[in-house]
Amino acid sequence: MEYTKESIHNIVLAQRKFFRTGKTLDVNWRIRQLIRLKQALIAHQKELQEALYEDLRKSPMEAYLVDIGPVIVEINEIINGLKKWAKPEKHFSGLMCFPSTSTTVYKMPYGVSLIISPFNFPVVLTLGVLAASICGGNTAVIKASSKSASTTEALRKLIADTFPEKFATVIGGGHDIADICLDERFDKIFYTGSPQVAKHVMEKASHNLTSVALELGGETGNWAIIRKDANLKDTARKIAFFKLCNAGQICININQIAVAEEVADKFLEELKKQFVKMIGENAAENQDYPKLITSKVYDKCVKLTSEYSEKVVFGGTGNESECRFSPTIIYPVSPDDDLVQHELFCPILPVVPYKDSEVEKILDVIADREHPLAMYIFTSNIKWADKVMATQQYGGGCINEVCLHMMVKGVPFNGTGHSGMGAYHGEWGFREFTHPQTVLKGSTRFNLPLREHPYSGMQGRIKMKLLKIFEK
């Protein structure tokens, strides 16, 4: 379908008209829509898995594990908690507001939302956000990625079969279509992608002072720190799994590793073993290994491995025709190298050695750069790790584990600074897609003239004394 400025404008107008009917304010109605979304996801599972294979060569197992299953978990959590989250809050107005005694905070939807989703996890990062929008009581225009065209088409069909366009719809197309959407007046914009594009989204949103949530990968990438006392085999196993997942095209994936030089060689050997054990000697020829989204990303991998050819200690091979590039370890790399100052978003894994006694210097390097979306620490010194995780700035992370923090119910998924703003998952998604409205119920009886003139003379002095009492 071809989209134009006029057709997109009409979609937004229709959704705004539908929102103003008040139908989405009914929490039970929202729950019914979430149930329909879950049922549609289950019914369209095969088509989505086929589309994910077409776009990213994700096997059916990986597609369900990381892209489809998490949406079902997310929707179930929302359905179970929504009535509690949406319930208006009652507050005592306080003596300063006497004779009013009752104040209510309503959790109100923003209205018409725009969801701009990425290519790397096109199902969970589209429908997971849509679930948050629905639970907040909003309508949704979804601008899905043109890079994952097959999945975008599958999502378009799923949503069209499930909801009327005036409530939720998926729009395809490239950056030109995204800009047409951004020129419209939305009430909430949720963007997942790169910091560079996020700046453009914020600029567009500023024209209408639209509330924005951004989930970004981080300008300088996510670090994993491995101390000399870490369980190296366990660490290597988890990192290998994570770097193989979606061929490294994950916003919370490890961009670079800092490993204590005392154990660097041993760790690298363990990491190589785990890669081979999981994906074989040549990952680029393994049909279970996902492909890179475009030839441009493949060419980037070739260019980087060529530039660091003398330091490639594992991998460095690819299958250009299928756009697969093997996990590639580059070692040793300096913290000042350009390679570790940008988000790579691919299977290349730079490794920076450091002296374990000087680990604080690595922490300073991380702190001096843009805040990452994720941080991972591997050590037996949990007390030290707890201190680091409680003092560094990042979106979320793990100690002696990878990525699982985003699967925990009841906690937010979010970034800070160049890794984003706002949060979602579960109740945090409900909060992101609603705004609180405070309403005080006044009284027509027993109103004291405390706030009224005169403010001077005897009456003023009496009023001042009463104010001091009420302040307590």
What CATH code is carried by the domain that includes residue 253? 3.40.309.10
Q: Do the Cβ atoms of 109 and 138 come closer than 8 Å?
A: yes
> What pLDDT is recorded for position 240?
98
279 and 357 co-located in one domain: yes
Strands 211-216 and 420-421: antiparallel
> What pLDDT is recorded for position 218?
85
Percent of all residues in the chain with a pLDDT value above 90, rounded to a whole number: 95
Boundaries of domain holding 457: 442-471
Please check whether residue 72 lies inside any domain of the structure: yes
181 and 295 co-located in one domain: no
CA distances from 299 to 79, 146, 158, 292, 319 (A): 44, 19, 34, 10, 11
Asked if pLDDT for residue 95 goes beyond 90, the answer is no
> Would you call 97 a catalytic residue per the annotation?
no
Instruction: Indicate yes or no: pTM above 0.75.
Output: yes
- For the chain, the average pLDDT equals 97
> What pLDDT is recorded for position 371?
97
Please check whether residue 209 lies inside any domain of the structure: yes
- Taken in order 147, 414, 181, 131, is the CA torsion positive or negative? positive
d(CA 128, CA 75): 8
Tokens of 80: 């179970």
Catalytic residue among 135, 181, 245, 251: 251
Range of weakest confidence among 171-180, 304-313, 441-450:
441-450
Backbone angles phi, psi at 123, to 5 degrees: -90, -55
Return left, alpha or beta for 457; rule: phi > 0 is left, psi -120 to 50 is alpha, else beta. Answer: left
340 and 465 co-located in one domain: no
Asked if pLDDT for residue 330 goes beyond 80, the answer is yes
Please check whether residue 382 lies inside any domain of the structure: yes
51 and 105 co-located in one domain: yes
User: Which amino acid appears at position 108 of this protein?
Assistant: M
d(CA 466, CA 16): 48
**Can you tell me the mean pLDDT for 443-450?**
88
d(CA 145, CA 62): 20
Q: Residue 67: which pLDDT band, with cuts at 50, 70 and 90?
A: very high
> What pLDDT is recorded for position 243?
98
313 and 249 co-located in one domain: yes
169 and 292 co-located in one domain: no
76 and 210 co-located in one domain: yes
CA distances from 408 to 119, 159, 404 (A): 23, 27, 7
205 and 227 co-located in one domain: no
> What pLDDT is recorded for position 52?
98
171 and 245 co-located in one domain: no
Asked if pLDDT for residue 313 goes beyond 80, the answer is yes
> What pLDDT is recorded for position 292?
98
205 and 238 co-located in one domain: no
> What pLDDT is recorded for position 448?
82
Cα dihedral 75, 134, 398, 392 in deg (nearest 10): -170
Q: Residue 470: which pLDDT band, with cuts at 50, 70 and 90?
A: confident
Please check whether residue 415 lies inside any domain of the structure: no
Please check whether residue 274 lies inside any domain of the structure: yes
Please check whether residue 53 lies inside any domain of the structure: yes
- Quick: pLDDT tens for 394-406: 999 999 999 999 9
Please check whether residue 42 lies inside any domain of the structure: yes
Cα dihedral 356, 362, 367, 371 in deg (nearest 10): -100
β-bridge partners, 420? 215
Examine residue 332 and say whether the peptide bond preceding it is cis (omega within 30 degrees of 0).
yes
Higher-confidence residue: 93 or 471?
A: 93
Catalytic residue among 62, 77, 184, 215: 215
> What pLDDT is recorded for position 332?
98
335 and 395 co-located in one domain: yes
Please check whether residue 161 lies inside any domain of the structure: yes
262 and 206 co-located in one domain: no
**Can you tell me the mean pLDDT for 275-289?**
96
d(CA 308, CA 289): 24
d(CA 278, CA 367): 33
Examine residue 449 and say whether the peptide bond preceding it is cis (omega within 30 degrees of 0).
no
Asked if pLDDT for residue 1 goes beyond 80, the answer is no
Tokens of 208: 């209408």
- Quick: pLDDT tens for 26-65: 999 999 999 999 999 999 999 999 999 999 999 999 999 9
Range of weakest confidence among 260-269, 305-314, 448-457:
448-457
> Would you call 135 a catalytic residue per the annotation?
no
Domain count, the chain: 3
Q: Residue 316: which pLDDT band, with cuts at 50, 70 and 90?
A: very high
